[in-house]
Structure 1
Amino acid sequence: MSMTISSPAGLSDEAITQTLIAGADAARTSTLGRFRTQLAVDNKFSSGFDPVTEADREAETRIREAIAARFPDHGIIGEEWDTKDTTTRFNWIIDPIDGTRAFISGVPVWGTLIGLTYQGKAIAGLMEQPFTGERWLAVGGRLEHTHNGARVPAAVSAVTRLSQARTSTTNPDMFTGPHLSAWTELNARALQVRYGLDCYAYCLLASGHIDLVVEAGLKDVDIAPLIPIIEAAGGIVTTWDGGRAEMGGTCIAAATEQLHEEAMRVLRDAMLE
């Protein structure tokens, strides 16, 4: 079941689309130009590893400039720089390189994420993987997937059972405590599990190649831009308790309502044991 949200009155789909594309265009030189080069990598955490590079910071700056040039009064929430507050109901959500670990390893499953929320709900989103030339763009409940500028059909699969589901999570280490027990049970029941795909997994779901993505510990910038893409493709994405996923946390995206319900049941029952 799709839960698409149309763009609010007073802000046209065309204006949103142009801004998303302008942001992606602005980021591309910073990201693609540095991909598979010997970059300096900083660690944002004193314990653990959360990498950031000059490409992340510069790309977000350029995306922010592209947004501010068109909507100077809108809020901006980004991965690398401080939040720009707004008195409007609009916030743009930016992760300039979702999957920096993949980026610094030369693996092309990272992507630039840009989304727009209205009153806290995601209404538009873009994911671009410039190395492969792919873009998923969802505005006004409609999804456009392109490869090197040519349109490619995109819709979720018809898989309804966990035993048939091609499943993904970025890293099993994100699950701890009851969430680890829940993931272990779901992993055992799924057809297969692929790791390390970051935002690319959600877009593969929107294109019918992956059926289920289950994650924990997400930030708003990790998931909000992807929600309109999944929903416009006919999929469903929520938190593990069935709520809206814009703020991140534990998130589950599924191709069909039946698959979503079964996965939710498995997760819930495992956490209660």
Structure 2
Amino acid sequence: MTELEAFTVDLAREAARVSLPFFRSVFAQEDKGTGGVFDPVTEADRAAEAAIRRLITARYPGHGVIGEEYGADRPEAEHVWVLDPIDGTRAFIAGLPVWTCLIALRHAGQPRIGTIAQPYLDEIFVGGPSGARLLKGRTETPLRTRSCAGLDQALIATTDPDLFTPAEREAWVRLRAGARLARLGCDAYAYAMVAAGTIDLVAESDLKIWDWSALVPVIEAAGGRVTDWHGETPNDSGQILAVGDAGLQAPALSALSPAALARSV
């Protein structure tokens, strides 16, 4: 691994050290949602992001940081860390081990290194210039997406169709109708499974920069593709399509693109 890839893994392990004692325990939480939508944040989220930021500041004081819990610090820097200390907070508070810690390093505006870490399972999926791998204990396993003959053979995923707009939900229904099997509720862990070659496609919307930046290097280094619903580089539309086999992109976009949001100019 490169120095920066190794440091990203160190950050994931520090986040695990801080967050894991809270899991399936008693911890403070609050609802930051509006309009009746439950959007929880816990003391574990905040403690983990604070710990990651401390290490970044100590090691790379010139780097910027964008985090879900504590906002942006020098987001215009050449190197910017993008942090989601606990992606899948609803799963976390339910005691389900599919929440993850997402850490990305963006260079010149693009995500180049990423980790998707699941501390309870002792898994760190890392992707970057030196490839993609799963770190579990002392074991390091290369990651590779799997081939898929067609959408009708694909296992697809999204977190919750109720999070879609009506048009997006219709698009998901079209996509689901053409697929073999769909699974729900895995948040970013589903993207790790794309890189690992057990899920073929994930489609989601309304994702923030900290929700998707870490996914891109992991999946792309494993041989997959991550785009928006236009088939282009992800941006602030928040609509994400990840495929393990490039051949799935065209049929997926055929289902999704009618609901694709206009791209920012």
| Deviation at residue 46 of structure 1 after TM alignment | 2.8
Q: Which moved more, 1:102-111 or 1:31-40?
A: 31-40
Identity of aligned residues (%): 39
Q: Return closer, same or farther for 1:39/1:248 CA change in 2, 3 Å cut-off.
A: farther
Q: 1:84 is matched with which residue: 47, 66, 73?
A: 73
Q: Which has the higher contact order (CA 8 A, sep 6+)?
A: 1
Look up the match of 1:186: 175
Look up the match of 2:207: 218
Structure-2 separation of matches of 1:64 and 1:102: 24
Matched residue SS, 1:36? coil
Letter of the 1:26 counterpart: E
Q: Return closer, same or farther for 1:113/1:82 CA change in 2, 3 Å cut-off.
A: same
- 8 Å CA contact 2:100–2:188 kept in 1: the answer is yes
Structure-1 separation of matches of 2:75 and 2:238: 24
- 8 Å CA contact 1:167–1:212 kept in 2: the answer is yes
Q: Which moved more, 1:86-95 or 1:128-137?
A: 86-95
Q: 2:29 is matched with which residue: 41, 56, 59?
A: 41
Structure-1 separation of matches of 2:77 and 2:205: 30
Q: Which string of whole-angstrom CA distances, capped at 9 and with x for unpartnered residues, describes residues 71-101 of structure 1?
A: 1111100010021015531110000001000
Q: Return closer, same or farther for 1:134/1:239 CA change in 2, 3 Å cut-off.
A: same
Letter of the 2:18 counterpart: S
Look up the match of 2:83: 94
| Deviation at residue 44 of structure 1 after TM alignment | 0.8
Letter of the 2:98 counterpart: V
Q: 2:198 is matched with which residue: 194, 198, 209?
A: 209
Matched residue SS, 2:127? strand
Look up the match of 2:4: 16
* Unaligned residue ranges in structure 1 (runs of 5+): 1-12
Look up the match of 2:152: 163
* Unaligned residue ranges in structure 2 (runs of 5+): 261-265
Letter of the 1:100 counterpart: T
Q: TM-score, normalised by structure 1?
A: 0.91
| Deviation at residue 137 of structure 1 after TM alignment | 1.0
| 4+ aligned runs moved over 3 Å, structure 1 | none
Look up the match of 1:25: 13
Q: Return closer, same or farther for 1:248/1:20 CA change in 2, 3 Å cut-off.
A: farther
Q: 1:119 is matched with which residue: 95, 108, 128?
A: 108
Q: TM-score, normalised by structure 2?
A: 0.93
Q: Which string of whole-angstrom CA distances, capped at 9 and with x for unpartnered residues, describes residues 148-168 of structure 1?
A: 231224211100411111000
Matched residue SS, 1:156? coil
Alignment root-mean-square deviation, CA: 1.6
Look up the match of 1:234: 223
